[in-house]
Amino acid sequence: MTERLAGKVAVVTGGTSGIGLATAHRFAAEGATVFLTGRREAELAAAVEQIGRRAVGAQGECRAIGVQGDVAKLEDLDRLYATVREGAGRVDVLFANAGIAEFATIEQITEAGFDQTFAVDVKAVLFTVQKALPLMPDGAAVVLNASMLTIKGVPAFGLLSAAKAAVRSFARTWANELKDRRIRVNAVSPGPVETPAISSLAGGQEQGRKLLSEMAAHVPLGRVAQPDEIAKAVLFLASDDASYVNGVELFVDGGMVVPKRRSRQDPRALTPSGNPWRGPGLARPRPPPRSPAAPLSPPRCRTRRAPGGAAGSRPR
């Protein structure tokens, strides 16, 4: 490893599984001291132990510290940053990753489901970043976990899509609001990823595998991502390799956001030029060729009659 985060202090929310855990692994392996959060104490302890076995500092210290809590609760965020302040004194890199999702169409969405989704996926992201700012030095990096669903309109993912669209907007706005401190804010937007959350969302491991298989059919690369593939992109955005990258949304989705070109024979195809900037104009069918046995009829002259019956031109 090149230790691209050597000496840095990183915070990863939702770091006990999936993308968060893979990213915490990457950060620690690249030299960072990582504070990771999770709601369940047992899973958090297992994640810290797992990272610690692989990433130990020069003095033998573990590079992973777990802080149990719910990011949707502001008092838990205060406790998180109090722990960071006491243990490290600053936050050089922040990955706001914690989030939830549920299947619900417009007819099925409940007020409780709405409140919970936006509390974790939007409110928690905002205050996770806001409360970290006093600990962040100039030139720090923030990465927000968004989703490619924001531009696809996938049925039953309306709540998640709306919440992640807000996250994407945060990245663009905060990149400008924090420019005087040179704090870079970017978003990573994954496609389908094989994580424990998928099985939970689908209602079981078997249903999760079926869902992933269905998702893979829509990915140009023909498969879903592994958490570490997303973690590599987060590491890039968090490191000095992305020193001139700010306010972007980086899609890591195997090409799902790439528009599909329809066949020219499809009447819904784009214009023959294929220029996407000309809009989704319909291709006009060519008129059938005229039969040589059907000569053109000479044009018929018609005369408009002025009021009163006399032939003439109508006054303008």
Domain of residue 67 covers: 9-252
| Residue 266 is assigned to a structural domain of this protein | no
| Residue 280 is assigned to a structural domain of this protein | no
Q: Which of 3-12, 51-60, 126-135, 137-146 has the lowest mean pLDDT?
A: 51-60
CATH number of the domain bearing residue 81: 3.40.50.720
The sign of the CA dihedral 86, 131, 40, 34 is negative
Tokens of 142: 């923030």
| Residue 155 is assigned to a structural domain of this protein | yes
Assess whether pLDDT exceeds 50 at residue 269. Answer: no
| Residue 313 is assigned to a structural domain of this protein | no
User: How many residues comprise the chain?
Assistant: 316
289-296 long-range contacts (CB < 8 A, ≥24 apart) are none
Confidence of residue 270 (pLDDT cuts 50, 70, 90): very low
Q: What is the mean pLDDT of residues 229-237?
A: 98
Confidence of residue 281 (pLDDT cuts 50, 70, 90): very low
Q: Which of 157-166, 183-192, 205-214, 297-306 has the lowest mean pLDDT?
A: 297-306
Rounded distance between C-alpha atoms, residue 156 and residue 162, angstroms = 12
| Residue 285 is assigned to a structural domain of this protein | no
User: What single letter denotes the amino acid at residue 186?
Assistant: N
SS3 43: helix
| Residue 281 is assigned to a structural domain of this protein | no
pLDDT digits (tens, 9 = 90+) for 182-195: 999 999 999 999 99
Q: Identify which of 179, 186, 5 has the alpha carbon closest to the alpha carbon of residue 95.
A: 186
Tokens of 231: 């973690």
pTM for the model: 0.81
Domain count for the chain: 1
Helix (H) or strand (E) holding 121: none
Question: Taking all residues of the chain, what is their mean pLDDT, rounded to a whole number?
Answer: 86
Classify residue 67 by burial, with Cβ atoms within 10 Å: 0-12, 13-18, 19+.
Answer: buried
In which residue are the tokens 């924090």 written?
178
| Residue 41 is assigned to a structural domain of this protein | yes
What is the per-residue pLDDT for 267? 43
Q: Which of 188-192, 207-211, 217-221, 294-298 has the lowest mean pLDDT?
A: 294-298
- Angle, helices 18-29 vs 41-54, to 10°: value is 30
Assess whether pLDDT exceeds 50 at residue 248. Answer: yes
Contact (Cβ atoms closer than 8 angstroms) between residue 20 and residue 228: no
| Residue 173 is assigned to a structural domain of this protein | yes
